[in-house]
Amino acid sequence: MFKSFSILWLLSASALADPVNTYLPVPSQAVGPPLNAAGYRVESYGKGAYMVTNNQYQAMFFVSDKGVIVVDAPPTIGYNLLYAIGNITDQPITHQVYSHSHTDHIGGSGILPSGVKRIAHYLTKVYLEDTPDANRPLPDEIFADAYTLTVGNQTLELKYEGHNHHPGNIFIYAPVQKVLILIDIIFPGWVPYSALGATENVAGYIKAHDQALAYDFDVIVTGHLTRSGNRKDVEISKAYVLDLEQTCTEAYQIAASPGNNISAQAIAAATLAVNPNNPYTALKAILTAMAEYCGNKTNGKFQDVIAGTDVYGFENAFKMTDSLRIELDAGGPFAVKGP
């Protein structure tokens, strides 16, 4: 009686909620410093350069003697960005730079005072024109390659280094403070967010690491998570993504030959036998097997170095595996057939 009661309780509990997954504990180096009572933290990088974070998102502002430049305005930081600035200077916000068009980084821009002059890459304007949004006013000034923004005693060098995470995503460099802002590429202390930070161009994503390292920076602000980064964080992210590229390329070679547990032909035959006329099922099974192979192999090397490999390692491996097929031409099971 008691036993069947407890089984019933378990059944009803599992019917009420989705299963909650448990992941590896977060290493201390990836845990963010505490937030203030209002739910944010301000970090100073000297000479009027400040980062504002809620330990999930990051924005920056630069205080000059002729107004304040804001970089991005994540909606989840919201009014705390204005409070952070208001507690540090009486200077008005006069300029805003958009890193790229994504809402999660600039969708709080609508709360900035009117009259703020906005600067972005021209592709950011193209995207914003496609999705009109009062929370993301169109930029007033656009550029294609490079733009130097000088406001009073502050200077930011904006540069487009090619497509990576999203077309229009720019490098923003403060040469005096040696601070580089590059959003959604590197995730200091952590594995990249799902699908290599939801990247749209994997080759450009990989290249962005060397492009970042070419700058003379001490601090890199990357838009996400618990802290800013340094050169070591960029090196680690580069090592992770290059290792993933290598292990996934290896998976293509293994999958192209018969007689192993990721052989594409065997997986396709077994999958199509139970899912006739459904080529999606075969492709998904092949890509999943390859991504598990390389995801597991790369995760094993990095799980003690960065947090979250067990959370998004597979999604990153799947993105890399699919990009090797459609973007980077790894061949393997998908190489030219014949004659």
Which run of H or E residues covers position 42? strand 41-46
Task: Report the C-alpha dihedral over residues 32, 34, 39, 42, rounded to 10 degrees.
Answer: -80
The percent helix, strand, coil of the chain (3-state, each to 5) is 40, 20, 40
**Nearer Cβ to ligand NAG (83/127):** 83
Contacts of 7 (CB under 8 A, 6+ apart): none
**Nearer Cβ to ligand NAG (110/138):** 110
261 sits near ligand NAG (criterion: CB under 6 A) = yes
47 sits near ligand NAG (criterion: CB under 6 A) = yes
Number of residues interacting with ligand NAG: please give it, by CB under 6 A: 18
Residue among 184, 233, 292, 315 that touches Zn ion (CB under 5 A): 184
Contacts of 144 (CB under 8 A, 6+ apart): 121, 122, 160
38 sits near ligand NAG (criterion: CB under 6 A) = yes
**Nearer Cβ to ligand NAG (74/167):** 74
102 binds, among ligand NAG, Zn ion, none (CB under 5 to 8 A by kind): Zn ion
184 binds, among ligand NAG, Zn ion, none (CB under 5 to 8 A by kind): Zn ion
Sign of the C-alpha dihedral computed for residues 125, 127, 131 and 134 taken in this order: negative
**Nearer Cβ to ligand NAG (103/155):** 155
176 sits near ligand NAG (criterion: CB under 6 A) = yes
Tell me the residue type at 32. G
**64-93: contacts with ligand NAG (CB under 6 A):** 64-65, 83, 86-87
Sign of the C-alpha dihedral computed for residues 243, 247, 252 and 253 taken in this order: positive
Q: Which residues bind Zn ion (CB under 5 A)?
A: 102, 184
